[in-house]
Amino acid sequence: MQACQTRGFKIKAILADGQFRHIQQQVKQRGIIINICATNEHGPEIRRYIRTVKERERSISPMLPFERYPPQLIVEMVYNCVFWLNSFPHKDSVHPTTNPTAIITGQRITYDCSVEFGTYVQTHEKHNNSMGPRTSGAIALRPFGNEQGGHYFQVYIQEKGY
């Protein structure tokens, strides 16, 4: 709410699930309508968004060279999908040419799409002048979101087989 209000948006209503029931009174005190859905129920907008994220995740997982997925990789796969969905303008958005990330944060960033999710890479590590390794194997997760084009990586541990 604070991020939206900082950018000049007036929040009139919030659709939420039961996890937000404990802040319901605080939100109402700010003059915002909060609609808490019943257990195992979602609003149609949320249900459609969840379906879209799952479809994107299902399109990524067959391309990955893993037999098993560590739980953290699955979380990062979902985060990657949400990151990219928010990086491009939506047809039903509040602005026709500005993406949701730029609307909320104010940052207009061009993302480097050269490293796909799940790609095995060698990342630069801190080192000294010894003959020790200066890189380590890692799995690309998503862009960092800065102007330099940095990425998040997960260190690849070969002993576990994923």
Name the band, by pLDDT with cuts 50, 70 and 90, for residue 158. low
pLDDT of residue 111: 64
pLDDT at 54 > cutoff 90: yes
What are the beta bridge partners of residue 140? Answer: 153
User: For the chain, first and last CA: distance in Å?
Assistant: 38
Kindly tell me the burial class for residue 81, based on how many C-beta atoms sit within 10 Å of its own C-beta (0-12, 13-18, 19 or more).
buried
Name the band, by pLDDT with cuts 50, 70 and 90, for residue 120. confident
| pLDDT tens-place string over residues 59-96 | 888 888 778 888 888 888 998 898 888 888 888 777 88
Parse the chain into domains and list their residue ranges. Answer: 1-41, 42-160
Q: For the chain, what is the radius of gyration of the CA atoms? A: 20
Residues 144 and 90: their CA atoms lie apart, in Å, by: 21
Mean of pLDDT values over 132-153: 77
pLDDT at 112 > cutoff 70: no
Tell me the C-alpha to C-alpha distance, in Å, between residue 54 and each of 59, 78, 149: 9, 8, 26
pTM over 0.85: no
